[in-house]
Amino acid sequence: MRFHSPQKLKTIADLVGAKFIGPEDFEVLGTNEIHMVQPGDIVFVNHPKYYDKALNSAATIILIDKEVECPEGKALLVSEDPFRDFNRINTHFTRIYNFTEELHDMEIGEGTKIHRTAVIGNNVKIGKNTLIFPNVVIGDRTEIGDNVIIQSGTVLGGDAFYYRKLNGNFDRLISVGNVVIENNVEIGNNCTIDRGVTASTVIGEGSVLDNQIQIGHDTVIGKKCLIASQVGIAGCCVIGDEVTLWGQVGIASGNKVEAGTVLLGKTGVNRDLEKGTYIGMFAEDFKTYLKKEVKLRNLK
């Protein structure tokens, strides 16, 4: 999430009551979670296991629960609860409506048709000649391009599935990102596409999604991808252009699939994949899988 205007380190520290290490006028441009960080971003870390990853990431402001040596060219915000204060910062700069108020501040392009039963949040932009079917829900800040089709029951911009365990309960990391649907995308019935925690969940131009597909927060789907029914893609994945995912494929969080790859039905992905055709619970090369099956069948 980028702030509307640059902020100063001391301003952010005062906002959440944190100690700051670095020049008080150190520039802060926004927030991001660890998979998406850029220079100028705040990233939070609240476990020693991940200190090095956060401190050495592209982020230049680290919201951390212990005072440590600050890397050169960066700044620290030392907080007793970085998770909580990350939420405080995000919700200070991005108001959360959750359909409790209707501001009617949407932008709708010429020729777009929206069924009267669709529910649309605030700060939504919809391009030209797009069709929104009955009972579609479009969350705040969603951006939809031209010539898009979104069929019945689909939800764009629900909360990210991102929690921590706190005092025996689950505490949510509040999602202040959005969903971006590029031009010429088709989305089937009863799909759910979560908004980014701090960035965008993106469906690339010309991609086609079947029914009952789940796409997690901050995942980026490339151009002209074909995704069949009941596929589940976790958060922070990157799917290249012209990838084909057949039915019930599952992709774990943070993985990348190279452009042109084909994942056959029920393939499970728990690592980055180079271009190829894969099958099986742990995404085996298809030809290798077939050779193994032949050998197993010929055992005596």
Tell me what pLDDT residue 294 has: 86
Contact 253, 269 (CB under 8 A): no
How far CA 96 is from CA of 50, 76, 222, 299, in Å, comes to 29, 27, 28, 61
Rounded to 10°, the helix 82-93/9-16 angle is 110
Written as six digits, the tokens of 217 are 């927060």
Contact 223, 208 (CB under 8 A): no
Distance of CA 143 to the CA centre of its chain: 14
The Cα 196–Cα 139 span in angstroms is 12
The Cα 81–Cα 7 span in angstroms is 21
pTM of the model: 0.94
Contact 193, 203 (CB under 8 A): yes
Contact 200, 218 (CB under 8 A): yes
Q: Which has the higher per-residue pLDDT, 151 or 33?
A: 151
Contact 176, 91 (CB under 8 A): yes
Tell me what pLDDT residue 87 has: 97
pLDDT mean across residues, the chain: 96
Q: Quick check: 101 pLDDT over 90?
A: no
Establish whether 104 is a catalytic residue.
no
End-to-end CA distance of the chain: 60
Q: Quick check: 300 pLDDT over 70?
A: no
The Cα 165–Cα 51 span in angstroms is 19
For the chain, domains (ranges, CATH) are 2-93 (3.40.1390.10), 106-278 (2.160.10.10)
Tell me what pLDDT residue 292 has: 86
Model pLDDT for residues 64-88, shown as the tens digit of each residue: 999 999 999 999 999 999 999 999 9
Q: What residues contact 218, with CB distance under 8 A and at least 6 apart?
A: 33, 35, 36, 160, 177, 196, 197, 198, 199, 200, 201, 235, 236
The Cα 274–Cα 49 span in angstroms is 29
Confidence label for 183 from pLDDT (cuts 50, 70 and 90)? very high
Model pLDDT for residues 124-171, shown as the tens digit of each residue: 999 999 999 999 999 999 999 999 999 999 999 999 999 999 999 999
224-251: average pLDDT: 98
The Cα 278–Cα 39 span in angstroms is 36
The Cα 72–Cα 135 span in angstroms is 52
Q: Which of 28, 14, 172, 164 is nearest to 98 (CA)?
A: 172
